[in-house]
Amino acid sequence: MRARLRDIPGRIYLRYILLNIPALVAIILALIVAQHWIEVPIWLSLAIVFIWFIKDIILFPFVWRAYDREGHAGSRLMIGKRGIARERLAPSGYVLVEGELWKAEIVEADQPIESGHLVRVARIEGLKLFVIPEASKDN
Last residue of a domain, one of 74, 96, 121: 74
Res 1 pLDDT > 80: no
Report the pLDDT value the prediction gives residue 134, as an integer from 0 to 100: 86
Specify whether 48 is located in the same domain as 29: yes
Q: Report the domain count for the chain.
A: 2
3-class state of residue 84 by DSSP: strand
The model's confidence at residue 3, banded by pLDDT at 50, 70 and 90, is low
Last residue of a domain, one of 35, 50, 74: 74
The model's confidence at residue 76, banded by pLDDT at 50, 70 and 90, is low
Report the pLDDT value the prediction gives residue 136, as an integer from 0 to 100: 53
Q: How far is CA 62 from CA 4, 27, 66, 118, in A?
A: 12, 22, 9, 30
Q: Per residue in 96-124, pLDDT tens?
A: 998 889 999 998 877 889 999 999 999 88
Res 43 pLDDT > 50: yes
